[in-house]
Amino acid sequence: MDDFRDRRPDESTDRSPDGSPYGGTADERLAELFAFLRRRVTGDYEIDEFGFDPELNDTVLLEALRPLYRHWFRVEVLGLGNVPPGRGALIVANHSGTLPVDALMLQVAVHDELDRPLRLLGAHLVYQLPVLGHLARKSGHTLACREDADRLLRKGEVVGVFPEGFKGLGKPFSERYKLQRFGRGGFVASAIRAGVPIVPCAIVGAEEIYPKIGDSPSLARLLGLPYLPITPLFPWLGPLGLLPLPSKWLIEFGEPIRTDEYDPEEADDPMLVFDLTDRIRESMQAQLDALRLRRGPAFPPITM
């Protein structure tokens, strides 16, 4: 596409909630902090019907993730022009890394590089955990269900989904960068109903942050978790084993796939949905393989 753009970590621009660049003098930043705290105390802020709190997300939650994004993983983003501006879109990405750090890095990428919030669709387990579920809602995430996905897409939001689910997130290191099954294609049906493009997204780098070399099924069942991973560092080093390895990341948005050529009623055609889902998965696997070659070594020397 003509507006294809690449963005590297040192080209990102920090912006405050009012759109102005972060920074300024210490007094200005202190004044901004006090203004933020005053709005929180007085309740002078907005939350949408899903529980999304844009100011808290921009000022606190994403700010806590940016050091990982820029300095630890050194994320580079490709194909920004493939995400259509000013309209709804469904970003479909591969999932990996044992813990869903890839979802958080994708959220930073869309917010900071495209200046739009990413409304991620999460599994039921996320919202069963009191603190995590609350923070997920505040940051714009919602339950991965037909109703929520359809409403967000029809509102013109950028929605993100990881159709591999826990199968992709918890796969062993020996199967890295091999896409798992995409389920029944509910994300394709939602895109067709809303008439929005599907943007395939390849994420390279997450596979190496927690190399999963084993599992503890019995303990996972006891804790109500889909899996309990064993990595070269966890549980042997205790909490230190939860520190992700500093792999080099690339995130690439591929060519959008149009769905407005279909009638909304065709979203109920299982064969059409299955065929399109399968084609998207095949194209994403090719995209992922090419991006992995482009990235090269997972832990390249850090240049100053």
Q: At 282, is the secondary structure helix, strand, or coil?
A: helix
What pLDDT shows up at residue 16?
Answer: 47
Write down the pLDDT at residue 19. 45
Q: What share of residues in the chain are helix, strand, coil (percent, to 5)?
A: 45, 10, 40
Note the pLDDT tens digit of each residue in 195-220: 999 999 999 999 999 999 999 999 98
Average confidence (pLDDT) over 276-287: 97
| Phi, psi for residue 185 in degrees, rounded to 5 | 80, 30
pLDDT digits (tens, 9 = 90+) for 58-72: 999 999 999 999 999
Measuring CA to CA, how many Å separate 30 from each of 26, 34, 35?
6, 6, 9
pLDDT-derived band at 224 (thresholds 50, 70, 90) equals confident
Q: With contact defined as beta carbons under 8 Å apart, do 75 and 145 qualify?
A: no
Could you tell me which CATH class the domain 9-209+244-295 is placed in? alpha beta
Q: Beta-strand (E) ranges in the chain? A: 76-78, 89-93, 118-122, 142-143, 158-161, 198-204, 214-215, 229-230, 250-253
- Asked if residue 181 has pLDDT above 90, the reply is yes
Cα distances (angstroms) measured from residue 234 to each of 102, 173, 214, 242: 19, 14, 10, 7
Determine the pLDDT at residue 18: 43
* Sign of the dihedral defined by the CA atoms of residues 105, 111, 114, 118, in that order: positive
Predicted confidence band of residue 182 (pLDDT cuts 50, 70, 90): very high
Predicted TM-score (pTM) of the model is 0.89
Taking a C-beta distance cutoff of 8 angstroms, is the pair 119, 141 a contact? yes
Provide the pLDDT for residue 304. 53
Return the percentage of the chain with pLDDT > 90, whole number: 78
Residues 6+ apart with CB under 8 A from 34: none
Domain boundaries, the chain: 9-209+244-295
How confident is the model over 15-38, as pLDDT tens digits?
544 444 445 688 888 888 888 889
* Residues linked to residue 199 through DSSP beta bridges, in sequence order: 91
Give the Å distances, CA to CA, from 292 to 202, 222, 248, 286, 289: 9, 36, 10, 10, 5
